[in-house]
Structure formats: C-alpha cells, structure tokens
Amino acid sequence: MSRLYILCLSQLEIRSHQITLYHRTGLARHCLVEVRLPDGPLIADPFYGLYYTDETGRPIDLERLQSGATPRFASLPHSDRTAYPPNEYYDFVFTLSKTANWTMSWCRRQAYHFLTAVTRGGIDRLRLPVILEWPQVLLGAILTLTIGAMEVLAWVLW
C-alpha cells in the first residue's frame, strides 16, 4: 500500500519516501510514507488512514521519530481511525525507524552493517528515489549492467 501511495504522489509531483517501522523484536514490521509538503514533512500511514503528530498536534518527520519523539496519531481525510488496533503486532520502537527494511534476508543484514559503518548511520535516513519503488526497474538495471559487463569481459578475453 505504501509503495502505491508513493507512486501516486509522484504522479502528482509530490515527493515522498518510505519509512519502515521496526517491532520491539527488532524485525521490520510496517511501512509508512513520509510526504514532503510545502509547509513541511508529514508521516502518513495509508493502510490505517493515520498521520503522525507530536504532542502539540504538529506533523513530525523521520528524524524526530528516530530521535525519540512519541508520536500521536490523527486521521487522514476520509478516515475515522485515530490509533492502531490494540495488538502486540503494533508494538513499534519508533527510534528504530529506517528508510528501508534491512531484516528481510542475510544479504540485506550484511549490507546494512557495511553501509551503517560507511555512512556513520546516515543510511537510516537515506531517502531513495521514487524510481526504486519499481522493483522491476531495479531488476532490469541490474540485469542490463550484468549483461553489459559480461559482454565487455567476453570482448576483452577474445
């Protein structure tokens, strides 16, 4: 749902990025969207129809979430929800929020450790371009580069 929301906002020329919420167990659990509006960023949960605010009702951004702000929830237009369902699934640790799900596989976890060291933690706030929300584009780019590299290698070796 979040990926579709990001792609739709992109068509309206509104910048937005994914935020991944992590559970108290350390596993990635839920995706949000950070929308860049003219008057500032807003974190929205398109699945539950919520947006995140601080204690004064002002929208918060990823950095505030990561720094320990306790979010409050408000309803997006056309939604009547004001909170997540009362369930342990939603025991999020908001300070662990990142811009990607780094727990999906062993390779991602290793890449995360490397990138965390290289960027001194900046990887947790790296907003990805919307084109990477299309997995088939990323796969196509990787395949094209691989085939190109193989052709160059074959040309050099022959």
**pLDDT digits 0-9 by tens, 45-82:** 999 999 999 999 899 999 999 999 999 999 999 999 99
**pLDDT digits 0-9 by tens, 128-145:** 766 666 566 667 777 888
**Cβ pair 35, 44 in contact under 8 A:** yes
Coil, strand or helix at 92? strand
Per-domain boundaries in the chain: 2-127, 131-158
Give the Cα separation of 45 and 40 in Å (integer).
17
The predicted structure's pLDDT at residue 80: 92
Beta bridge partners of 38: none
**pLDDT digits 0-9 by tens, 80-105:** 999 999 999 999 999 998 887 777 77
Coil, strand or helix at 142? helix
Give the Cα separation of 33 and 151 in Å (integer).
40
Question: In the predicted model, what is the mean pLDDT of the chain?
Answer: 85
